[in-house]
Structure 1
């Protein structure tokens, strides 16, 4: 199974073009004002345009209400919706049914107990994204550039459609794939010069490193497709 690679938090045309040129599979756009990677819908529409048809467009939201989700779908026409907040399984199912788009649900992981929620979400989401659980005092969700203990995923059903995120970069993605056998990886801050400022060279390096790791250990990208 071919490894899926997602570059998230794109904010400039140059970053979008670098993502396409590097051979990534998914481009993520954040619609969440507290994030340094937030793009408003007018700007997002312009950024998404050159990516459409060349890779899969993912719109990331955090506890968005129906009105905002409608606006996001109208403006960006994403291939995927990524729910990165405290959305319940019932909310995930409702979003998917209402909008008719594949839904990716992010779950924060810091200890084995955090995996208890996986079955309920896996029953309704098209893919589960594992990110580092933010600190209790964090003002934003997500891994915030930190990795979690990848060995925690050893107990997962290998048939689950998953994606690994949190603290990945060009130097550690091969090790992450070796340990987790993840079928998909997601990077944001690990390919940046500064928060929200993507480095095209790092995007290329990340994609190259991930593809090389998958090619030298084909089984690593297969079990959890």
Structure 2
């Protein structure tokens, strides 16, 4: 369990943007490895630190509580940390490596990259070399949750092979394409939000279960 406990043959699953106790319970029952709490007020999936703190109490040991922030100020970050027991931070904005290290304050963290044409993969992974993982998302307006996949073929094979134990694949994943994504890229984990929603910010519990089942089926098909 846990998002970044890499093991060949078992892709970890993060479901992001959960907002209600029923969402949490459904995700846990489906076998999720991590849930993401969005601390970015413009997002339809945003929650307050106090709501996140209440939801996190429903998580069993071993399921990561991921705090997603976008260019948060020190004060905003500390307001989250003061009440919500986040176990893993996700920096989804324009934070520098120094920002990430300082704000995470010794806790594990992920740096998200918005992948467009000619994205500098090598430079990115070198620049953020102290990150525990790299989350690859689509380049869309806003910050994540756009439901748009990016061109996976644009990821250099040498880069993905070298970094797969640290790669969290996001961006437009759903029940229908997650199997192909795993077969092609073998990431440590996959991250879904809009792909398991019936409308922006409203999760479909049946789709969450089906998504995780699709991941497990892909893992089984990839086994020798």
Corresponding residue of 2:151: 149
Pairing of 1:7-18 with structure 2 (within 5 A) = 7-18=15-26
Q: How many residues align?
A: 213
Task: Please point out which of 17, 39, 56 is paired with 1:48.
Answer: 56
1:211 aligns with 2:213: no
Corresponding residue of 1:199: 204
Corresponding residue of 2:11: 3
Q: Does the CA contact (< 8 Å) of 2:90 and 2:112 recur in 1?
A: yes
Corresponding residue of 2:185: 180
Per the normalisation by structure 2, the TM-score is 0.89
Corresponding residue of 2:124: 118
Quote the offset at 1:143 in angstroms. 5.3
Q: Does the CA contact (< 8 Å) of 1:89 and 1:120 recur in 2?
A: no
5+ residue gaps, structure 2, are 1-6
User: Structure 1 CA distance, aligned partners of 2:178 and 2:195?
Assistant: 10
User: Structure 1 CA distance, aligned partners of 2:108 and 2:194?
Assistant: 24
Q: Does the CA contact (< 8 Å) of 1:105 and 1:121 recur in 2?
A: no
In structure 2, the CA distance between the partners of 1:87 and 1:184, relative to structure 1 (3 Å rule), is same
Q: Does the CA contact (< 8 Å) of 2:30 and 2:208 recur in 1?
A: yes
User: Structure 1 CA distance, aligned partners of 2:88 and 2:75?
Assistant: 17
User: Structure 1 CA distance, aligned partners of 2:123 and 2:31?
Assistant: 33
Corresponding residue of 1:189: 194
User: Structure 2 CA distance, aligned partners of 1:15 and 1:54?
Assistant: 18
Per the normalisation by structure 1, the TM-score is 0.89
Q: Does the CA contact (< 8 Å) of 2:66 and 2:86 recur in 1?
A: yes
1:95 aligns with 2:103: yes
User: Structure 1 CA distance, aligned partners of 2:223 and 2:75?
Assistant: 42
Quote the offset at 1:52 in angstroms. 4.6
1:38 aligns with 2:66: no
Q: Does the CA contact (< 8 Å) of 1:151 and 1:180 recur in 2?
A: no
CA RMSD of the aligned region, Å? 1.6
User: Structure 2 CA distance, aligned partners of 1:69 and 1:120?
Assistant: 25
Pairing of 1:134-145 with structure 2 (within 5 A) = 134=140, 138=141, 140-142=142-144, 144-145=146-147
**After the TM superposition, which parts of structure 1 deviate over 4 Å for at least 4 consecutive aligned residues?**
none
Q: Does the CA contact (< 8 Å) of 2:32 and 2:63 recur in 1?
A: yes
In structure 2, the CA distance between the partners of 1:95 and 1:120, relative to structure 1 (3 Å rule), is farther
Q: Does the CA contact (< 8 Å) of 1:30 and 1:38 recur in 2?
A: yes
Corresponding residue of 1:129: 135
Q: Does the CA contact (< 8 Å) of 1:131 and 1:143 recur in 2?
A: no
Quote the offset at 1:116 in angstroms. 4.5
